[in-house]
Structure 1
Amino acid sequence: MSFSNANAQDQNNPWAIGIGVNAVDFYPTGENAPLGDYFDEFFNLDDHYNYLPSLSTVSVSRYLSDGFSLTAAGSINEISKIGDSSASDLSYYALDGTIKYSFANLIKSKTIEPYLGVGGGYTWVDEIGAGTLNGTLGLNLWFNENIGLTVQSSYKHAFEDYLAKHFQHTVGLAIKFGGKDTDKDGIYDKDDACPDVPGLAAFNGCPDSDGDGIEDSKDDCPNEAGLAEFNGCPDTDGDGVADKNDNCPTVAGLKALAGCPDADGDGVADKDDNCPNEAGPAANNGCPWKDSDGDGVLDKDDKCPNEAGTVANNGCPEVKPAPEVMKQLNDYARTILFDSGKSTFQKQTDKVLQAMVAIFKEYPQADFSIEGHTDSDGSASSNQLLSERRANAVRDYLIANGINADRLTAAGFGESNPIDSNKTRSGKANNRRVEVKLK
């Protein structure tokens, strides 16, 4: 019996060699006496099998794709039994090629692998040869990824009458090889997500340099062992703020203060607090000075000390437009028409701009940002420049019509913030816009 193919091959181990022994049986082939019917006494080893007590078959296999492999095999034997008759030790030689299909994936097994094959070859008995058509049924039993045992039976139908039909049974050792593992981490390149860098099987071949159980590609701190909750970064002081974001990484503090402590609880981190043990407002670096209206602006700096306001407005209340007023402003802004590819206004836009001027004048203490946007036609750099010019054109118009320049800023965002699809004409029209936002 002999080995003739290594199935369960794939791109990882595309080549296989096999060695073994073979047995030839002329009896159960449906011929006349001294032969029997098909498969009659199929396992009568003593009376009908011809075999040599030595290595008698060698094969080479190459994986093709989708479970198919191609095998070339050579075998020798000595024929002393033809059915129930004896023969005078006739020589037997065979060269065969077989295409086989593995059922390993179908049955989802990496150990037991049945297969079928079809092929042909040339067989010589007593130095007289003829072509054969071969059908094969076999089973591989894999001990590990590279070594296995193969058992198979092949029916050989001769094309010439002088060569009898017969079965050739084989058993032997299969050895697979040829897998590529560039980084030598034990994971073949085909299955290795990082084929050039040694890694771990748990991460499909990618490394975990700091050994914290988070692969480097997902680890924000790949060279420092850390915690999963911080994407692999450490938290030395255990305050719930990762060291990379902690302004006081060795002293436990508050998340609200970027990991720094606040001994007096005044909302000013101790490192920035001129009076760390006395609560005081941030505006006075944490020291306790009078703030009559409690707006966070010390009386000495508060232009409206008896009326709560904002720090940005020097302690005075800000009068900002309501959401519906901002909506009206943006409805006007989106109808501003520019000349194609330019930052100059079309004539009919003047009425829209004047309406916007009137709203701005109603809120003299409010500050605004003018933002320009484009569609995706043209290059990103030209769109960015055009959006900036258009935003500044609106700002310049407002300033020229009596709005304080200190209240207005302008910025362009090019094509980076679409509000609609750039694949349709209407979507592009929506994306070409000016927006107004409160600062």
Structure 2
Amino acid sequence: MKHLNKLLVAVMMAMGLSSHAQDSNNPWAISFGVNAVDTRTSASPDHVDFFPAHFSQPFDVKGNWNILPSLSYIGVSRYVGSGFSVGLQGSVNKIDKYVVFDPTNPAHDARGLVVYNPGDLMYYGIDATIKYSFQELIKSKVIDPSLSVGGGYTFFGDSSYGTVNPGAGLTFWFTDAIGLELATRYKWSVSGDREDAAGVPDAPSHFQHTAGLVFKFGGKDTDGDGIYDKDDACPDVAGLKQFNGCPDTDGDGIVDASDACPNEFGLAALNGCPDRDGDGVADKDDACPDTAGLAALKGCPDTDGDGIADKDDKCPTVAGPKENGGCPFLDADKDGVLDKDDDCPTVAGPASNRGCPEVSSQALEDLKVQARAIYFNSGKATFKTGDKETPARLDAIKEILKNYPNAKFSIEGHTDNTGSAKINQKLSEDRAKAVLDALVQRGVNPENLEAKGFGSSQPVASNKTAAGKAQNRRTEIKHVGSKYQGKL
């Protein structure tokens, strides 16, 4: 084993080269296994028939092959592109059957072979190889045939010599990176099968067969998705093979980078966005995502077809113009003012008062009578205790006012001259406010009402008599215009 160091040197050198069926994803490969040396192809100088020497009994394993029953070769390889790889292999063997094809030798057997016993002659080989794989050409993922050519240096006992090595191989890939490699190479001696002093070739040409495992490695897969970075369109994000390594988070068949809604299962026609109501408008753009509608109305329906979405249409089942809120132009009270412009669409009134009736003199007189008949506790803003008519009078006032929804009315409070002017002013204001609150509670629009107090400044009778003072303690309701005339 004095030449074992030569094999170790070969292995170290092999870390920079290649000879196996790698690819650009996994450019490196390492292989190891057993080898067999067949010296049968050596011929004596007196016998040079090529074909009988090289092709007779090539698979006579027991008679011709020298096999070391242990790990006896190792190689490292690197892919260089277009199916080619280059590399280095180191091997070791023990020659206990030194077979020479020499039919002229009286000692030859029936096969024309002379078998020598060299006494466990040690064998070492260091071989560089250029190899071409046909795997891509035949488009197979399992079967990988190849041809190779190279050269090496062989240590054969005490002699050593160079060789030229044509070869062939067949690899069966179990996975993308693990395979069984079978190979053979003919190592032709550049020294011409020279003989030693005993007439035995000491630089024989020979076949070397190998069988072993090969492992590819060196591919980079940053995101760990099983797709190498060179083929991964999204090398930093784990994805799917069918999308060249890019993710499809929602599983809708649209890669996230092209998916407008990457976290929601959607439709290809809508760039990956869902459409719950099936109206062709993506939910993210649909103002009515649960009701089928029109694209022109942001996915909302238009039942009456007037161009106004139902949600914005005051009359969704009857067509009407936009300026009328989607309702047709109607004049329900037949007063000549269209409902869209009529503040009182159910009560006839002139256009000059926006379709509402003018406050009649009779209504004003009725308001005056009812308001003056509302009595208060002496010196207070509360309705007179025990007066059962006051609620009826307030109801009567409410019925009059509801006929004039756009008219403004002023509720005025008055007192007699008993007490100071300051006290009377405050009391008159409070009484007017009490009447206003009572009408609002009965449904009168507070925007149509205001309350004012005048104290004792506007008497309607003499304060010198009890009867006159009683008349002066009163409330009155007056028409002061329309609510559209601005603040009073």
- Taking the aligned partners of 2:239 and 2:30, their CA distance within structure 1 comes to 30
The answer to whether 1:176 aligns with 2:242 is no
Please report how far the alpha carbon of residue 70 of structure 1 lies from its aligned counterpart in structure 2 after TM superposition: 1.1
Q: Which moved more, 1:265-274 or 1:127-136?
A: 265-274
Give the one of 49, 53, 70 matched to 1:54. 70
Q: 1:398 matched to which residue of 2? A: none
SS at the partner of 2:57? coil
Alignment correspondent of 1:242 = 282
Structure 1: 5+ residue stretches without partners? 291-297, 302-439
Structure 2: gaps of 5 or more residues: 1-13, 100-113, 195-201, 331-337, 342-488
Aligned counterparts of 2:265 and 2:68: Cα–Cα separation in 1: 63
Give, in whole Å, the separation in 1 of the partners of 2:244 and 2:129. 35
Q: Which moved more, 1:241-250 or 1:184-193?
A: 241-250
Matched pairs, number: 290
1:206 aligns with 2:246: yes
Aligned to 2:315: 275
Measured in 2, the distance between the counterparts of 1:153 and 1:131 equals: 18
1:63 aligns with 2:79: yes
Distance 1:115 1:76 in 2: 23
Task: Please say if 1:78 is aligned against 2:108.
Answer: no
Tell me by how many angstroms 1:173 deviates.
0.7
Aligned position for 1:153: 184
CA gap 1:90/1:13 in 2 versus in 1, 3 angstroms? same
Q: Which residue of 2 aligns with 1:360?
A: none
Q: Distance in 2 between matches of 1:283 and 1:7?
A: 81
Structure 1 residue 38: Cα displacement: 1.9
- Give 1:11 shift: 1.6
CA distance in 2, matches of 1:229, 1:258: 17
Higher Rg = 2
Deviations 1:254-295, CA, capped at 9 Å, x for gaps: 3342211223332211222233243212243312127xxxxx
For normalisation by structure 1, the TM-score amounts to 0.62
| CA deviation vs aligned residue, 1:167-212 (integer Å, no higher than 9, x gap) | 1111111111111001111111111111111111121100112222
CA distance in 2, matches of 1:104, 1:165: 30
Q: Which residue number in structure 1 is paired with residue 144 of structure 2?
A: 113
C-alpha change, 1:170 and 1:34, in structure 2 (3 Å) is farther
Q: SS in structure 2 opposite 1:261? A: coil
Distance in structure 1 (CA, Å) of the matches to 2:47 and 2:62: 16
TM-score, scaled relative to structure 2: 0.56
Q: Say if 2:19 and 2:88, in contact at 8 Å, map to a contact too.
A: no
Judge which range, 213-222 or 32-41, deviates more. Answer: 32-41
The structure-2 alpha-carbon separation of the partners of 1:31 and 1:273, relative to structure 1 and needing over 3 Å to count, comes to: farther
Q: Choose 177-186 or 281-290, whichever is displaced more.
A: 281-290
User: Which of the residues 100, 110, 123 maps onto 2:154?
Assistant: 123
One-letter amino acid of the counterpart of residue 23, structure 1: A
Q: Distance in 2 between matches of 1:235 and 1:136?
A: 63
Of the three residues 119, 134, 155, the one matched with 1:103 is: 134
The whole-number CA distance in structure 1 between the counterparts of 2:288 and 2:219 is: 51
CA distance in 1, matches of 2:122, 2:20: 30
Alpha-carbon RMSD = 2.3
Q: Shift of residue 238 of structure 1?
A: 2.9
Amino acid at match of 2:159: I
- Distance, in Å, in 2 between the alignment partners of 1:77 and 1:34 is 27
